[in-house]
Amino acid sequence: MHDTLFVYPATLARYQAAPLFPERERFLAHCDKQGYTRRGLRKIAWLLLVIASTRLARNGRVRIEEIEQVARRHRVRFLQHSSERGNCHTTQQLFIHTAATWYGFLGRLATYRPARGRFSTHLDAFERFMRDERGLSAITIDTRHQQIGRFLSGLPRRVRSPAAITVLDVDRHLIHLSKHGWSRTSLARVASSLRAFFDYAETQRWCKQGFSDGIDSPRIYGDEGLPRGPDWSQVQTLIASTVGSDPASIRDRAVIMLLALYGLRRGEVVRLRLEDIDWKAELLRVVRPKQRRIQHYPLIAPLGHALIRYLKDVRPRSAAREIFLTIKAPLRPLSAGGVTSVIRNRLRSLGVENVPRGPHSLRHACARHLLDEGFTFKEIGDQLGHRRASSTSLYAKLDLRALREVGELRLGRLL
């Protein structure tokens, strides 16, 4: 790899003469397969040269703390090679990331992650329970992990086990979130996640029986809120904003169409695989994790064209079977959080205000549009993959035309 990156013999000889050249060569080849550009590979090669010249190269196994110490001692060197002369922070962080990744690639990294918290063992066991016994979706598990982890990490240091946690600790956490702008609905979801965790903790005898019953949350009345999303004109503007020829716009166009035209959830979008597109039958196969079933949709022409353009012109060769990948190296499947960032950033750039700007808001916009077009609640529920009719009936409050007709009925002769 080095001989393809550096054409001057003297420069190439300097890289070849430094320690651990075979190891650095293998890692560069690995990065090349991950889709890094030539410029990115040259940067990594230089960082590996710096790493190989430090005392880290002489150690057997390397800890993250040692890498960070070496990075701080090389601040002046990073400053000289930084694109922004007044700030070397980016190069310093890239040094830490590259060193950790390289030593992990070599099997010499002593610690792959920061020190685990007090309740890591309990959280790991609860995750396995949610995945293996409850069969919950990956996004639900991740969301609960974040919510419960935020609560546990905020407990006083004297609390060393679930048995030492009190209901008052839970109340204080919910009050703290409320004071920082969390809505009643969001607080209710956090409380639900905590109840699920302590229900499991009771079965494992980590805490006393009945603990979860004492966790109170804001009362949420059935169908009290409106499913909010952008107007359909704003959705059309959002789709039109992706007509560019840059790779991100080409990929995002297909993602947005799946969210807005099909009403898919973000997790369903990122889980789509290449084999889920039946080009001959013009069908799209969608795995519905909540219903634990597979649903087939007709592949409409606009989405088909967007997918073909992305797959032919943008999507790099990769062993990953997921349709949507990251644009920048290292190449990997697009995450649910990545979809959220795409939608929020694009809606923000369009000046969309006063409505939620996450991917789920496009699902609501899809339902509202189908309702306006005269589709029945059964048809809308089937399109969105709802398990219960009550999930779709919430959109009845958005059917202003039907509500107005009800309001204009003259019932006097019927009484």
Instruction: Catalogue the active-site residues.
Output: 265, 290, 360, 363, 386, 395
Helices (H), 83-213: 89-106, 120-128, 138-153, 167-179, 184-203
Tokens of 105: 């690639």
How many CB atoms neighbour CB 163 within 10 A?
Answer: 12
Q: How many residues does the chain have?
A: 415
Look at residue 293 and give its three-state secondary structure. Answer: strand
How many CB atoms neighbour CB 156 within 10 A?
Answer: 8
Query: Which amino acid type is present at position 92?
Result: Q
Contacts 24+ apart (CB under 8 A), 390-398: 392/367, 393/223, 394/223, 394/227, 395/227, 395/367, 395/368, 395/371, 397/223, 397/226, 398/226, 398/227, 398/368, 398/371
CA–CA separation, 366 and 293 (whole Å): 21
Tokens of 411: 């019932």
Look at residue 13 and give its three-state secondary structure. Answer: helix
State which H helix or E strand residue 269 sits in: helix 266-270
First-to-final CA distance of the chain: 88
Query: Which amino acid type is present at position 203?
Result: T
Helices (H), 34-137: 38-52, 64-73, 75-81, 89-106, 120-128
Q: Answer yes or no: are the C-beta atoms of 63 and 99 closer than 8 Å.
A: no
Tell me 211's DSSP state.
T
Count of helix runs (H) and strand runs (E) in the chain = 20, 3
Listing from the earlier edge strand, what are the strands of the sheet with 283-288? 277-278, 283-288, 293-298
Burial class (CB in 10 A: 0-12, 13-18, 19+), 237: middle
CA dist 307 → 12, 257, 281 (Å): 42, 10, 15
> Who contacts 46 (Cβ-Cβ below 8 Å, separation ≥6)?
81
